[in-house]
Structures are given as C-alpha cells and as structure tokens.
C-alpha cells in the first residue's frame, strides 16, 4: 500500500490512474496538483483526489509516487518546479505520448535527482477529456510502456510498474528511442495523415458537397483528426525526427503507388491492397485472441 501519491494533471489520464488505484485499495491518499483550480475542484468533488495541494512543495512532500499527466509540453516546467522539493525515496513518472524529449527535459531539470524519474506512457484514451471522463477501468488490459534510463534502479522501475499493474495494465519495456520510433509509425503518422486529408478537403471550394457524400469509411478514417490540435502540435514537435522519418517513408510509398496507378498496373495495386488486407486481418485476429485470453484470465 502506498501512503501518498501526487498527481500533476487530474484529467482523463491522471484521474483514471487515481480512480483505479483507489478501487484497488492500493493507496492511502491522493493529492492533486495543477494549474487549473476548477479542474482540481471537480476532481475532488468526483472523489478522484482526496486533497488539493496548496503548493508544489506540499504536493511533493512525503509522496511515494508522483505522476505527471499534464500536457506533454508542460513536463519540463513541472519537473523544474518539483526538483527543489524532491526527497530521496520519492519516484516520479509521467504519462507523455513521447519519451526522448521527456528524458531530455528530465535530465535538464532534475540534475542529480535524475535516477528518481522513470519515463512512462499508458496506451489508453477516450475521445472525452477532463476529470469527468476519468474511469477506474480505463487501463484494464491496456499496455503501459515504461522506458527506463540507465540511471534508474530496478526497484524504482518495479514500483512504477506495480502501480500500473494495480490499475489492470500490462507492462512493456522499450528504450525511449524505440518507443518514439514505434509510435511515430503507428500513431503519430496516422494522426498527421488524417489531419492533412480533412484540412485538404475543407479548403476546397466545393468542400460542402464533398462532406455531404462522405460516409462511414471516411468517418472512421478521420476519427483521429477530431483530436486536440494543441496536443498533436506538441507531439509532432516533440517527436519531430522519428515522425519526419516515417513521413518520408510514407511519401515514398505513396509516390510509388501513384506511379502504379498512372501506369494502370492493376496487378501491382492489387498486390499492395492484398498485402495490407492480410496484414490487417492478421493483426485484428491477434488482438481478438489476446482480448479473449484477457477475459478468460480475469474469470
């Protein structure tokens, strides 16, 4: 049982972490901190946090674990504010969607306390945000990536892992660089592609008649273009190198496909489409098998 957890940013991600740990009986007290007092008040009303910290020093004092779940662009500033008050024995982790930039910020801001920071990224979300969107079971069966640094002690990484496991999550370990390369390909690039398509269509003179005929395929394809522009601006810039790498590979792929289409090469197009269909089908089957296993394991 942890005595005290401090959470900076008590929205969907931080709030769900709090609710899950409370439900698991894994913590005595949860203290909320953040810039938005209305959000903090709401989180206390909803029973997500027990106390609103009166200051950063107050939030950090005596905490076993600190989670930073604010927008990723604020991580550096929050770490800087925590640093002077950070006691030995307190572990800090985060929930940011990018990791190399967070590691850089942590090294810059925490200095000789860097070993107390264990970078993390829970792979879960909803379309809604804020404390009202928080769910005790948001992380059940979901992945949490931890990206330990060479400085981290194994017991500190295990402490963070244990907290997420209490939330029902599965722990995966990657280096910050591996993490950012993987998520550039399977998450950040698709977001950029979806934003680019909707912006492109919205800017056409006949946008209205185009949207009028867009159907369910377009709706699913562009769902992620409904995400927060600020958040995705920050992620794009934070993971600039890996995202540029994936974007260039995709531009090459699309240019190749354009050539096949212009040449009327139906067999080559069908081979690409067929390879994609098979790969996606295999992936979906693997997900469904894993979900089934999770369910059976939980019975």
Check residue 195 for interaction with a second copy (CB under 8 A): yes
Residues 202 to 221: which contact a second copy by CB under 8 A? 202-204, 207, 209-211, 213-221
Which residue in 128, 226, 292, 293 binds a second copy (CB under 8 A)? 226
What's the closest the beta carbon of residue 52 comes to a second copy, in angstroms? 31
d(CA 21, CA 159): 13
- What is the number of alpha carbons within 13 Å of residue 153 lying toward its C-beta? 11
Cβ nearer to a second copy, comparing 41 with 227: 227
Which residue in 68, 72, 147, 243 binds a second copy (CB under 8 A)? 243
The H or E element that residue 63 is part of is none
What's the closest the beta carbon of residue 161 comes to a second copy, in angstroms? 17
Cβ nearer to a second copy, comparing 3 with 292: 292
Which residue in 28, 45, 199, 288 binds a second copy (CB under 8 A)? 199
Cβ nearer to a second copy, comparing 3 with 273: 273
Which residue in 149, 187, 245, 294 binds a second copy (CB under 8 A)? 187
Residues 18 to 37: which contact a second copy by CB under 8 A? none
The H or E element that residue 285 is part of is helix 266-298
Name the DSSP letter for residue 24. T
Closest CA to 119 of 80, 169, 66: 66
- Going along 15-160, which residue ranges are E strands? 27-33, 51-52, 65-68, 91-94, 117-118, 120-123, 143-146
Which residues neighbour 35 within 8 Å (Cβ) at sequence distance 6 or greater? Answer: 70, 74
Cβ nearer to a second copy, comparing 62 with 141: 141
Residues 123 to 162: which contact a second copy by CB under 8 A? 123-125, 143, 145
Closest CA to 122 of 170, 79, 159: 170
CB-based contact 55:37 (threshold 8 Å): no
Residues 252 to 291: which contact a second copy by CB under 8 A? 253-255, 257-258, 261-262, 264, 266, 269-270, 272-281, 283-284, 286-287
Cβ nearer to a second copy, comparing 62 with 190: 190
d(CA 271, CA 282): 16
Residues 107 to 126: which contact a second copy by CB under 8 A? 123-125
Which residue in 85, 197, 245, 294 binds a second copy (CB under 8 A)? 197
Contacts 24+ apart (CB under 8 A), 270-276: none
Cβ nearer to a second copy, comparing 1 with 262: 262
Which residues neighbour 203 within 8 Å (Cβ) at sequence distance 6 or greater? Answer: none
Which residue in 3, 35, 173, 233 binds a second copy (CB under 8 A)? 233
How close are the terminal C-alpha atoms of the chain, in Å? Answer: 25
Which residue in 10, 33, 114, 192 binds a second copy (CB under 8 A)? 192
Cβ nearer to a second copy, comparing 2 with 247: 247
**Exposure b/e, 68-98, CB count within 10 A at least 16 = b:** bbbbbbbbbebbebbbeebeeebbbbbbbbb
Cβ nearer to a second copy, comparing 17 with 183: 183
Residues 57 to 86: which contact a second copy by CB under 8 A? none
């Amino acid at each position: 049982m942890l005595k005290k957890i401090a959470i900076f940013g008590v929205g969907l991600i931080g709030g769900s972490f709090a609710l899950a740990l409370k439900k698991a009986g894994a913590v005595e007290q949860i203290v909320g901190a953040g810039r938005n007092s209305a959000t903090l008040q709401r989180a206390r009303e909803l029973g997500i946090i027990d106390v609103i910290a009166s200051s950063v020093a107050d939030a950090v004092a005596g905490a076993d674990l600190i989670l930073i779940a604010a927008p990723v662009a604020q991580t550096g500033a929050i770490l800087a504010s925590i640093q002077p008050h950070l006691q030995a024995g307190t572990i800090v982790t985060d929930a940011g969607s990018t990791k190399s930039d967070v590691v850089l910020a942590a090294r810059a801001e925490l200095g000789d306390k860097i070993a107390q920071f264990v970078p993390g990224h829970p792979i879960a979300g909803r379309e809604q945000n804020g404390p009202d969107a928080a769910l005790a079971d948001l992380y059940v069966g979901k992945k949490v990536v931890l990206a330990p640094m060479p400085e981290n002690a194994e017991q500190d990484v295990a402490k963070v892992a244990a907290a997420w496991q209490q939330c029902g999550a599965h722990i995966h370990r990657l280096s910050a660089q591996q993490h950012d390369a993987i998520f550039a390909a399977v998450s950040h690039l698709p977001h950029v592609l979806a934003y680019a398509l909707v912006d492109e269509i919205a800017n056409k003179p006949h946008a209205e008649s185009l949207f009028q005929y867009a159907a369910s395929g377009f709706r699913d394809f562009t769902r992620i273009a409904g995400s927060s522009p600020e958040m995705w601006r920050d992620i794009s810039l934070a993971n600039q190198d890996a995202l540029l790498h994936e974007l260039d590979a995709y531009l090459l792929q699309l240019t190749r496909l354009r050539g096949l289409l212009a040449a009327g090469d139906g067999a080559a197009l069908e081979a690409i489409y067929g390879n994609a269909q098979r790969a996606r089908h295999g992936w979906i089957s693997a997900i469904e098998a894993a979900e089934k296993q999770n369910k059976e394991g939980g019975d």
